[in-house]
């Protein structure tokens, strides 16, 4: 296992290098001139050219990319064109709000999705199954921005129970975490139900029942453990998407996270911040996939990596 982990970690370098090329080209395809935005709309063309030279945007793209990678290897993410602060500080200030919001959203989504999925599978074609799957389909179908606005209208505007946005107290987490986790809970519920229905048909499940084991023991201890393997993959990917910055939710609730920072950076054509954030998102997905593979072996000892 250790050898496999080291091999995967070493493979991160070429992957990030390839990703950095696509990110760099994508960022420079964004319409607009960052030098003009930095200099100001009333600045003369001479001032704009001076700013372009200071930012290094007057050099060929190949030279700009080599400079970008060279700084990256040294651990230098550059300086924000908008705030003039180091990009590392900009991202670090926004990372924890996004991380905690993601953790809160995933925590309740996994618990609720797991519960609904198990109940739906064990009560197949009964009213519990219909209610659970109807809720899951509704959670998947309802757009996040629509759910967020509805929750704000009910719990903030009408009832005045929760804040409409910002990150001032634990109450600020309630509405955005519900909005962010609703779709995840729905997907988990459907995955658990589908996977568990297949596992419940296996011979060892029937054998356990024949030996007189209680149904709860058969389902929760034996069947669910094997049913969780495909669910872990999906849950890991969902966590990566949320941690990558839920742009819509953070915008609706004015959440000071990575998603909001990315939107602001794109609006200002802040190339350095955009490149650093997208590389961070790529690294997050790579690490999450590695963690998921390790969890496979934990859940199923028969799985071995060489």
Comparing 59-73, 81-95, 101-115, 197-211, the range with the smallest average pLDDT is 197-211
Helix or strand run (H / E) with residue 50: helix 45-55
Kindly report the CATH number that applies to the domain delimited by 99-269: 1.10.3720.10
Which letter does DSSP use for residue 208 in this model?
H
- Average predicted confidence (pLDDT) for the chain: 81
Question: What pLDDT is stored for residue 305 in this prediction?
Answer: 53
Structure confidence at residue 244 as a pLDDT band (50, 70, 90): low
Task: Tell me the DSSP string of 61-112.
Answer: HHHHHHHHHHHHHTT---B-TTT-SBHHHHHHHHHHHHHHHHHHHHHHHHHH
- Each domain of the chain, given as residue ranges in start order, spans 99-269
pLDDT at 229 over 60: yes
Query: Per-residue pLDDT tens for 62-96?
Result: 888 888 888 888 888 888 888 888 888 888 888 88
Q: Name the nearest CA neighbour of 299 among 194, 221, 207, 187.
A: 221
For residue 302, count CB atoms less than 10 angstroms from its CB and return exposed for 0-12, middle for 13-18, buried for 19 or more.
exposed
> Which residue in 93, 182, 92 sits closest to 137, CA to CA?
182
What pLDDT shows up at residue 143? 81
Distance from C-alpha of 163 to C-alpha of 169, rounded to nearest angstrom: 9
User: Across the chain, which distance is largest between two alpha carbons, in Å?
Assistant: 85
């Amino acid at each position: 296992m250790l050898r496999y982990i080291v091999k995967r970690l070493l493979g991160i370098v070429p992957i990030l290098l390839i990703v950095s090329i696509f990110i760099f080209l994508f960022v420079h395809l964004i319409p607009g001139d960052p030098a003009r935005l930095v200099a100001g709309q009333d600045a003369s063309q001479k001032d704009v050219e001076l700013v372009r030279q200071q930012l290094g945007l007057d050099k060929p793209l190949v030279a700009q990319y080599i400079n970008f990678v060279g700084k990256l290897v040294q651990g230098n993410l550059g300086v924000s064109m908008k705030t003039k602060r180091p990009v590392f500080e900009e991202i670090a200030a926004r990372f924890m709000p996004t991380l905690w919001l993601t953790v809160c959203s995933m925590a309740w989504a996994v618990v609720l999705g797991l519960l609904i999925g198990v109940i739906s599978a064990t009560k197949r074609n009964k009213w519990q199954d219909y209610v659970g799957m109807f809720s899951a389909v509704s959670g998947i179908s309802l757009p996040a921005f629509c759910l967020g606005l509805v929750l704000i209208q009910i719990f903030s505007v009408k009832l005045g129970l929760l804040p409409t946005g910002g990150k001032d107290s634990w109450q600020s987490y309630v509405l955005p975490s519900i909005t962010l986790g609703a779709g995840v809970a729905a997907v988990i519920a459907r995955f658990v139900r589908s996977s568990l229905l297949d596992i419940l048909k296996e011979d060892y499940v029937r054998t356990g029942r024949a030996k007189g084991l209680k149904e709860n023991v058969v389902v929760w201890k034996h069947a669910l453990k094997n049913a969780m393997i495909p669910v872990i993959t999906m849950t890991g990917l969902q966590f990566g998407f949320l941690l990558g910055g839920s742009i819509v939710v953070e915008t609706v609730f004015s959440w000071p996270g990575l998603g909001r920072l990315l939107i602001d950076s794109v609006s200002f054509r802040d190339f350095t911040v955009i490149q650093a954030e997208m590389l961070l998102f790529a690294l997050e997905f790579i690490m999450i996939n590695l963690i998921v593979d390790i969890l496979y072996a934990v859940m199923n000892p028969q799985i071995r990596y060489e």
